[in-house]
Chain A
């Protein structure tokens, strides 16, 4: 029996009517959990007894005691929705809905089941579908249909990233050209003194590596700082615990791996024309 194996919880998405009643007297009312958002919006407290109805008019209410609050599981598909939700035991859901329609006592549209062991999900789904014909059972996680919009979003992000890298490279090259052009006379002087081209190139590349690594690390630090800021802003804006930006070590490493060779290549390309020139010609403006 699924009910015994799983912690039974039902989400009552449409809380039609909810009112707080005196909470001082002991009450036989069944316990419910209330979402933080609902608790805050109705200024409720744990221990309060509230009346819930599945009817929008508030007819046939039933009393429940708030046993605690919970943070709704972040769901990107419901971004922007105000999570005014309660969690209650399955018999309570059935009882609440059955009051408006006696047939409801016999039927439930959907049940979310949390398995104690997630590895059994596939087998449980198969067993359910076989045991109760007409029942559609599916995993909430790893659902390709639910992930589809995010796959598109991810591709869009990748496209933006590629365009950004190309534009940044052009900008970096232009910047390096200006930097190297400013050093034209210095390179000329060093060549006249007797510095070999290869030696100057070594200096230039070493400097390029230092600049590129410093720039890349600065970029990573900046993105981590922005990550916190962006997440805090949107979490506040949409009242959600969703994480909007996450800079993983892998992402940081990939960025550094792309940025450093790009920076070095840019400084190498910009220096090359300069190093090909004769020392004396470089000192002339």
Chain B
């Protein structure tokens, strides 16, 4: 079976004043559809850079990336935008919700951009907010939500267009233990419902929940662990 994501010899170099910085060196990884993968490592090891490249937010300096069998490593910007909109969901440490919109409107935005009809959007938004346990907070703005609630809205937004891949960058990084646990359970559920989940985290407990764990160091995959 063909993997959902296939990265071969990915490299990423950032030109800096003091000379080029090699954020990623010869990374190769395959991620199957429906898999739950976590990436761990010390700060600056390149795990977020890898996540951004896997999510088509950034492009690799070298190597190839295939998404669902299609080479996406050199796609033009608009094509990468379309791919992100329809096939990839993002969750970030700092939620990145649009502050002037309500929870429901934040979930509505990607669907509207994808051309979903108003009626379908309304139904899907209600369904997703219920899914993350925030149906009663639909009309609240991000500033009126707790960190855990905001992150759950961010997950609902990431799932809005039924992506095949959900990428999360330190999703529990700004949450207390209880809220972090809640988010971890939600990610488990998302994966159990068939979405491929890739999480970058420092949180060992969160990382342990995945079926496969990559540990990175200095832009390389140091080791790969599998759940027992």
Residues of A within 8 A of B (CB): 185-186, 188-199, 278-280, 283
> A192-B96, A283-B96 given as contacts; is B52 within 8 A of A197 (CB)?
no
State the majority secondary structure of interface residues on B. helix
Question: Considering only CB atoms, which chain B residue lies closest to A197 in the complex?
Answer: B77
Q: Is the CB of B84 within 8 A of A194?
A: yes
Cβ–Cβ < 8 Å partners of A188 in chain B? 96
A197 touches B78 (CB 8 A): yes
- What chain B residues lie within 8 Å of A194 (beta carbons)? 81-86, 88, 110, 113-114
For the complex, is B29 an interface residue (Cβ under 8 Å from A)? no
The yes or no answer to B36 lying at the interface (CB within 8 A) is no
Residue from A189, A191, A280, A283 within 8 A of B81 (CB atoms): A191
Q: Are B110 and A193 touching (Cβ within 8 A)?
A: yes
Cα(A283)–Cα(B94), bound, Å? 10
CA distance A191 to B113 in the complex (A): 11
Given contacts A186-B98, A280-B52, contact A193 B57 (CB under 8 A): no
Report yes or no: A278 in contact with B85, Cβ–Cβ below 8 A: no
Given contacts A195-B113, A280-B52, contact A189 B96 (CB under 8 A): yes
Most buried by A among B77, B82, B96, B110: B96
- B163's nearest neighbour on chain A, judged by CB, is A194
Residue with the highest number of chain B CB atoms closer than 10 Å, among A186, A188, A191, A280? A280
15 contacts between A and B (CB under 8 A): A189-B96, A190-B98, A192-B90, A192-B92, A193-B157, A194-B81, A194-B88, A194-B110, A194-B114, A196-B81, A197-B77, A197-B81, A199-B113, A278-B57, A283-B94
Report the bound CA distance from A285 to B109 in whole Å.
Answer: 23
Is A196 a contact of B78 with CB atoms below 8 Å? yes
Measured between beta carbons, the chain A residues less than 8 angstroms from B90 are 192-193
Q: Is A198's CB under 8 angstroms from B78's CB? A: yes
List the 7 shortest-distance A-B pairs measured between CB atoms, nearest first.
Answer: A194-B85, A194-B84, A196-B81, A189-B96, A196-B78, A193-B110, A194-B81
Point out the residues of chain A lying under 8 angstroms from B110, CB to CB. Answer: 193-194
On whether the beta carbons of A193 and B58 are closer than 8 Å, the reply is no
Question: What is the chain B residue whose CB lies nearest that of A188?
Answer: B96
Interface set, chain B 63-86, CB cutoff 8 A to A: 77-78, 81-86
Known A-B contacts A186-B98, A278-B57, A279-B57; A193 and B52 likewise in contact (beta carbons under 8 Å):
no
With a 10 A CB-CB cut-off, give which of A191, A194, A279, A280 has the most chain B CB atoms.
Answer: A194
CB-CB under 8 A for A193 and B109, given A279-B57, A280-B52, A280-B57: yes
Q: Which residues of B contact A278 (CB under 8 A)?
A: 57-58
- Chain B residues in 8 Å Cβ range of A191: 81
User: What chain A residues lie within 8 Å of B84 (beta carbons)?
Assistant: 192-194
A196 to B77, Cβ gap below 8 A? Answer: yes
